[in-house]
Amino acid sequence: MPLHTDPPVIIKTTLLPYSEANLAAVLENRWVQAATICRSQQFAFFKEYLGEKNDGLNAQTILVESPYVSQSYLTDYTHYYAHCFAPYERYCKRVHFFALSFTEDELLAALPEENHEIWTAYLGYVVVKPLPAPIGATLLRPYTDGNQKQRRYPVRRPYPVNLLGRKLTIETLIFQQQDTNVSACATTALWMAFHKTAFLFQTKLPSPYHITESAGNLFHNNGRNFPSRGLDTNQILTAIESVGLVSEYRNYAVPTPEDVESGEATRQLQEAKAFIYAYLKMGLPVLLFIGFASGGHLITATGYREPQPGHNYSGSTALLSDGIERMYVHDDGIGPYSRLGFNDTEGHLETSWPLHGDWSQREPAALVAVAVPIVPDVRIQYEQVYEQAAVFNQLLVVLCQGIFPNEPLPLVWDIYLSYSNEYKADQLQNPPGNLAQAQRITLRLLPKYVWIARVRRAGSILLEMAFDATDLHTGFYCLLTSTYGPLRTVLDTALQQLGFQQLLRTTQDFDARYLPLLLDDLGLPELL
């Protein structure tokens, strides 16, 4: 008898013009009808994100590819869904979006051409899983810059995409909807974050099933691992450790009316915002624990909108992050790069969740805690660098009063973690001083990770400090200082005087260990 062989599986492609009705139709499956899809928060987000309003991606064409093998879903299917009595399928479909209208013949003709306009117009895809929670692995371009909106998305990585043999690359961060079986919101937020940390640090990239499994049932709550009803804080931090990382974790008090009135709510939110930005700028995903009236939620911060020009900074030590009014987060209950605002006055977050189902209003939330998954080599924390900046700020304020007596503009500090190689490259591409000053920095042997504290006045850089992020907490971890503009001129004159050097050595509010660094920057000898 001849051997039995299954017929080959042929990939079917369907081309549709983009519309909200077609979007709902392509996201449905046998478990969820288009009418139900249309009532979901994810659909409300996607139709705006892919639409032409509010800086949307302006999709013109939908391409459906079916069947599609999703590796992330296949792992969860093997460990969980394959053992269900209900006939959940192993294959998905993949829905691609383009900011261009074209026909099927034009698509086929473009396949051999690497730089065809069809590929330039590629916006990404959504995997539709054969489950009641259909939104699977999603790769979509982030928003582009809009009018007076300079958006930054450091938590991205390149993803290869193969569409009918055509190799593409998209810079984004993966997203998916929670399914509450192998993953609730915490597991999904971790899975999205681990996609970036695995790329940065070559650590493990577990599937949602394995993340939930690694967190364990620590018996702090009732229930079991699977089906997953969510992870508590200890389980989240345990899952981070399971991939070889540590957590830089901070928690915050929910503001009371008294905190709002006294300004403590504003101070706490700005402090949290500075902490988030300091790690986010390097490209590290930051996990935000937020609290609604109905319960807790975990989301992954991926980007921010730069402060508007002319932002009114205040305070003795102003921070660039104070001017950030919006961040972008991967929120599995809404969508990728969803907006997260900051109500500094009231001390709460303005989420993208509709208030009581009304999309014209947004549900507020409290910021309960933040956690940064990071390599153990980064030992120096943000707060330690901030404290050094606050001390140095006192000297700068005095000097600037003499340099700019009639222009009392604030000094604004930009404090963030970076790779030393990125810092050196930035010196060459955007030198705040002359070429010799940039070369002085690029020729220094620096550790892999550095903290940068940069102070500006009226947009111009006056001072930069680089700190060894891998040093001991008990050490003096400032590696170098660099001065620019009129501050450099004044210090060059002052530090050639023995009296000024002695003053810096003996002033209680100034760490004398900075003196050799200032002298090295200016090429001056130490006078004893």
Mean pLDDT, the chain, rounded, equals: 89
DSSP 393-448: HHHHHHHHHHHSTT--PPEEEEEEEEEHHHHHHHHHHS-SS-HHHHHHHHTS---S
**8 A C-beta contact, residue 47 and residue 38:** no
**8 A C-beta contact, residue 99 and residue 123:** yes
pLDDT reading at 4 higher than 70: no
Average pLDDT over residues 477-493: 94
Stretch among 133-137, 226-230, 404-408 having the lowest mean pLDDT: 226-230
pLDDT computed for residue 418 by the predictor: 98
Q: Which residues pair with 412 in a beta bridge?
A: 318, 456
Per-position b or e across 423-443, b if 16+ CB within 10 A of its CB: bbeebeeebbbeeebbebbee
Give the chain's count of helices (H) and strands (E). Answer: 17, 20
Based on the number of CB atoms within 10 Å of its own CB, is 370 exposed (0-12), middle (13-18) or buried (19 or more)? buried
Q: ω before 67 within 30° of 0 (cis)?
A: yes
pLDDT computed for residue 224 by the predictor: 43
Name the residue ranges covered by the structural domains of the chain. 12-172, 187-374, 382-522
This model's pTM is above 0.85: yes
- The 8-class DSSP code of residue 379 comes to -
pLDDT computed for residue 1 by the predictor: 54
Stretch among 101-115, 180-194, 220-234, 313-327 having the lowest mean pLDDT: 220-234
pLDDT tens for residues 24-35?
Answer: 999 998 888 989
pLDDT computed for residue 384 by the predictor: 95
The superfamily CATH assigns to domain 187-374 is Cysteine proteinases (3.90.70.10)
Phi–psi pair at 436, nearest 5 degrees: -60, -40
- In total, the chain counts a number of residues equal to 528
Stretch among 154-158, 333-337, 354-358, 459-463 having the lowest mean pLDDT: 354-358
Average pLDDT over residues 447-456: 97
What radius of gyration, in Å, describes the C-alpha atoms of the chain? Answer: 26
pLDDT reading at 229 higher than 70: no
